């Protein structure tokens, strides 16, 4: 961690020492952004489709886990399956929420 900080500090100092300063034009950023190509909107359906597929896969896996679970005896295998499914479902739900929140 110390090496990364030292490298970052060294890089910052070198950039400040050797690079040209940014222009004092307030419209500089806007002009640069205006020159960027437009975002491709034709594939916006892919992310919601992948999120829905991941949620359906989690639901199917939960169904598989509960269908194969023995009601009378709880085995180590079942505990591990449920733990893995809880973690996987939490990750999928978290990524789904992050994807929806950060969508354009």
Q: Kindly report the average pLDDT of the chain as a whole number.
A: 80
Identify the pLDDT of residue 23: 67
Residue with tokens 């999928």: 92
- pLDDT bucket at 81, cuts 50 / 70 / 90: confident
Residue 93: closest CA among 43, 70, 59: 59
Mean pLDDT of the region 27-39: 73
Identify the pLDDT of residue 4: 64
User: How far apart are alpha carbons 77 and 59 in whole angstroms?
Assistant: 19
pLDDT at 62 over 60: yes
Residue 82: closest CA among 71, 92, 69, 93: 69
- Which DSSP category does 25 fall into? -
pTM: 0.53
> DSSP letters along 43-62, please?
TTTHHHHHHHHHHHHHHHHH
Identify the pLDDT of residue 97: 87
Which pair of structure tokens corresponds to residue 8? 């970052």
């Amino acid at each position: 961690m110390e090496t990364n900080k030292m490298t970052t500090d060294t890089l910052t100092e070198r950039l400040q020492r050797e690079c040209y300063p940014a222009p004092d034009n307030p419209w500089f950023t806007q002009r640069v952004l205006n020159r960027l190509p437009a975002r491709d909107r034709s594939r916006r359906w892919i992310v919601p489709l992948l999120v829905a597929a991941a949620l359906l896969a989690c639901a199917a896996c939960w169904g598989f886990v509960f269908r194969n679970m023995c009601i009378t005896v709880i085995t180590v295998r079942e505990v591990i399956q449920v733990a893995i499914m809880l973690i996987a479902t939490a990750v999928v739900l978290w990524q789904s929420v992050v994807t929806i929140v950060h969508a354009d």
